[in-house]
């Protein structure tokens, strides 16, 4: 399920964005956001799955909108950290508390 909340004028909030493009385009995008008063922080958190706790139920894959979590051919959970947006939805969805961030 996707939860969407608008951040209105005179309100504060956080959101994740991915900026793709040439280096010059990314710099332009960052400068534009800063000019609009949007503070930026680069995410350098990595997701970690405790394989001793994970039961490969797949619940985390259902909530990952970035497709960073997938089941492999043997129905074992796989993580593509490069796609992860560190939204932490998977951590909330995991019934065995196998997910943490490092
Ligand atoms: S933190 Fe968010 S983006 Fe990253 S793996 Fe979990 S659900 Fe996907
Ligand atoms: S929700 Fe938790 S237990 Fe289920 S596959 Fe994901 S990490 Fe493993």
Residue ranges and CATH numbers for the domains of the chain are 47-101 (3.30.70.20)
What the block records as the tokens of 97 is: 């508390």
**Which parts of 1-102 are beta strand (E)?**
47-49, 69-71, 77-79, 99-101
Average pLDDT over residues 73-85: 91
Locus of tokens 């909030």? 13
Identify the bridge partners of residue 78 per DSSP, sorted by sequence position: 70
Q: Are 5 and 13 in contact (CB under 8 A)?
A: yes
Lowest mean pLDDT among 28-42, 61-75, 88-102: 28-42
Nearest ligand (C-alpha, residue 56) = 2
* Ligand 1 atom nearest 66 alpha carbon: 3
Residue with CA closest to ligand 2 atom 3: 54
The pLDDT score that the predictor gives to residue 89 is: 92
pLDDT band at 4 (very low <50, low <70, confident <90, very high): low
CB atoms within 10 A of CB 66: 16
What the block records as the tokens of 62 is: 């259902």
Q: Is 63 in the pocket of ligand 1 (CB under 6 A)?
A: yes
Question: pLDDT higher for 3 or 84?
Answer: 84
Q: Is the pLDDT of residue 44 over 80?
A: no
């Amino acid at each position: 399920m996707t939860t969407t909340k608008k951040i209105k004028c005179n309100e504060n909030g956080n959101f994740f964005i991915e900026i793709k493009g040439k280096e010059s385009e990314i710099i332009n995008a960052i400068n534009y956001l800063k000019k609009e008063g949007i503070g930026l922080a680069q995410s350098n958190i990595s997701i970690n799955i405790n394989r001793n706790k994970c039961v490969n139920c797949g619940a985390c894959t259902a909530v990952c909108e970035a497709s960073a979590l997938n089941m492999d051919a043997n129905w074992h959970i796989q993580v593509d950290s490069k796609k992860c947006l560190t939204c932490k939805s998977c951590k909330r969805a995991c019934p065995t508390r196998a997910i943490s961030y490092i």
